[in-house]
Chain A
Amino acid sequence: MGRRIFVLVLTVIAVFGGARLLRAEEPSMARDLTATIALQGMPCDKVVDAKRNADSDYTVSCKDGNHYHVFVDSTGRVVVKKL
């Protein structure tokens, strides 16, 4: 009985710890996209949603209601287009 509880607790820890690690990656990407949009001189206070279309290609929704298409073009330039 005690061993079962022990295994259960460990499983819960592993699941929540993994989820926490996965969630930790999201803000860094959102911050990256926020900084990228800001570097291009476009307004975006905070990225609330980023949908990945392809490699280096995102559709971004900002908290202030702006939507952007952020991608890297064929010449290697980061392009931010307002949608």
Chain B
Amino acid sequence: MSAAVQRSPDTMQLPGLCAGYVRRLEASAHTMRPLIIAGILCFLVLIGCTHARPTVPGAAPTEPERAASQTVPASASGSATPPSETALPAPTGPAAAEPDNGSKTTAQSAAAGSSSRPKPKPSTLKSPGNAPAAAVGSSAAAAAKPSAAPASDTSTRQSTPSSPALDLRALEQRLKETQAIGLFTKLSLKNQVDDLLNQFRAFHGNQGATTLAELRQRYDLLLLKVLSLLQDGDPALAAAISSSREALWGILADPVKFRQTVI
């Protein structure tokens, strides 16, 4: 009550003090309205421009994708077992029963597939030791310790994403569709993939002197190039490729699977 009493003299004094100013404001409101609208439009357009920038798919990954991209490299460097398990569709025999290592299973299946070529088999087993890439080193560590703590195996299995491993066709399709890399880069990558496939073809056809260890090095190098190209623009695809590394190697190194999928 006392506040109303105190306010009423102010409101009574207001017309007397600012009447001219209020009148001028009312008069200028009509002329200012288009400017205000234009300013709002300007602001909206600017907001649109700032939001139009990250249009690259995967530039702003969702939480599961982000989590996958964070967990996958760790699991890929930690142990190569889960991707090869998920990707290799359990062919036959002991190679399928042994959930140990991608290169080891491929060596066994290669031995089953082609017994007339004894030379590459030891190189397969030696290949992780020679290769400088981290994954090869990790697979070497996994090969050196075949019975390395089943508890850690289960923990890495739990940390790996549930996305299925890519095969060669799916990888090709997703690389074609991604907008993270340009046309020239895609074509250049395709050239290099074709070159590598030709080298695998020659290897499986007993032509040329390339060993499986050298092919593994080239494969890892190419995969590193692809990952470095994709990791910023399309982290989901980079994670998928990273988790499919051993599965893809399993297809390439196994002559039977290679003939089935590539040739």
Which of chain B's residues have a CB closer than 8 A to the CB of A20?
49
From DSSP, what is the main secondary structure of chain B's interface residues?
A: helix
Which of chain A's residues have a CB closer than 8 A to the CB of B32?
2
Interface size on B, residues (CB 8 A): 26
Task: Find residues 180-196 in chain B having any chain A CB closer than 8 Å to their own CB.
Answer: 181-185, 187-189, 191-192
Chain A residue, CB-CB nearest to B45 = A13
**Is A6 a contact of B34 with CB atoms below 8 Å?**
yes
| Partner among B33, B34, B38, B191 whose Cβ is within 8 Å of the Cβ of A78 | B191
**Is A32 a contact of B34 with CB atoms below 8 Å?**
no
**Is A36 a contact of B41 with CB atoms below 8 Å?**
no
Flag B13-53 by CB within 8 Å of A: 1 or 0 each: 00000000000000000111111011101100100010001
**Is A32 a contact of B35 with CB atoms below 8 Å?**
no
**Is A39 a contact of B188 with CB atoms below 8 Å?**
yes
From DSSP, what is the main secondary structure of chain A's interface residues?
A: helix
Q: Does residue A1 face the partner (Cβ distance < 8 Å to B)?
A: yes
Which of chain A's residues have a CB closer than 8 A to the CB of B189?
39
**Is B184 a contact of A6 with CB atoms below 8 Å?**
no
| Partner among A1, A13, A76, A77 whose Cβ is within 8 Å of the Cβ of B42 | A13
Q: Does residue B223 face the partner (Cβ distance < 8 Å to A)?
A: no
Q: Does residue B227 face the partner (Cβ distance < 8 Å to A)?
A: no
**Is B41 a contact of A32 with CB atoms below 8 Å?**
no
Q: How far is the CA of A31 from the CA of B228 in the complex (A)?
A: 13
**Is B31 a contact of A32 with CB atoms below 8 Å?**
no
Chain A residue, CB-CB nearest to B222 = A39
Q: How far is the CA of A56 from the CA of B30 in the complex (A)?
A: 56
**Is A78 a contact of B41 with CB atoms below 8 Å?**
no
Q: Does residue A51 face the partner (Cβ distance < 8 Å to B)?
A: no
Task: Find residues 1-50 in chain A having any chain B CB closer than 8 Å to their own CB.
Answer: 1-3, 5-6, 9-10, 13, 17, 20, 24, 28-29, 31-33, 35-36, 39-40
Task: Find residues 61-91 in chain B having any chain A CB closer than 8 Å to their own CB.
Answer: none
**Is B188 a contact of A78 with CB atoms below 8 Å?**
yes
CB distance from B53 to the nearest CB of A (A): 8
Q: Does residue B225 face the partner (Cβ distance < 8 Å to A)?
A: yes
Q: Given A13-B45, A32-B183, are A6 and B191 neighbors across the interface (CB < 8 Å)?
A: no
The listed residue with most B CB atoms (<10 A of its CB), out of A2, A3, A24, A39, is: A39
Q: Given A39-B188, A77-B191, A78-B184, are A2 and B34 neighbors across the interface (CB < 8 Å)?
A: yes
Q: How far is the CA of A23 from the CA of B257 in the complex (A)?
A: 47
The listed residue with most B CB atoms (<10 A of its CB), out of A29, A40, A77, is: A77
Inter-chain pairs besides A2-B35, A6-B38, A78-B191, 19 sampled, C-beta below 8 Å: A2-B30, A2-B31, A2-B32, A2-B34, A5-B34, A6-B34, A9-B35, A17-B45, A32-B184, A33-B182, A35-B184, A35-B188, A36-B182, A36-B185, A39-B185, A39-B188, A39-B192, A39-B225, A78-B188
Would you give 30 A-B contacts (Cβ < 8 Å), ordered by A?
A: A1-B31, A2-B31, A2-B32, A2-B34, A2-B35, A5-B35, A6-B37, A9-B35, A10-B41, A13-B41, A13-B42, A13-B45, A17-B45, A24-B53, A28-B182, A32-B182, A32-B185, A35-B181, A35-B182, A35-B184, A36-B182, A36-B184, A36-B185, A40-B188, A70-B184, A72-B187, A76-B187, A77-B191, A78-B184, A78-B187
